[in-house]
Amino acid sequence: MKFKIRLENSQDAEEFVQAASQCGGDVDLHSGVVYIDGKSLLGVLAMGIKREMDVYVSSHNDSTFENAVKKFVVA
């Protein structure tokens, strides 16, 4: 599964990482040429806030994760 997100502040980043940490599969974030582990708060904060990032999830049927992060999804 692949989608784009935008995190507006550190609270959004923390909420995203908490949801990703409970996801059974790998969650990776991509921006430019950088890939990071979406389960790492430090990595997510280092990637930057207020920018669009691609999310790659290896688990295709994790509706709990999808529902938890759908408010961050951008078209």
For residue 75, the model assigns a pLDDT of 76
For residue 28, the model assigns a pLDDT of 96
- What does the pLDDT look like over 19-70, one tens digit per residue? 999 988 899 999 989 999 999 999 999 988 899 999 999 977 678 898 999 9
Question: Is 2-74 a domain of CATH 3.30.1340.10?
Answer: yes
For residue 64, the model assigns a pLDDT of 87
Domain ranges of the chain: 2-74
For residue 72, the model assigns a pLDDT of 96
The Cα 20–Cα 53 span in angstroms is 14
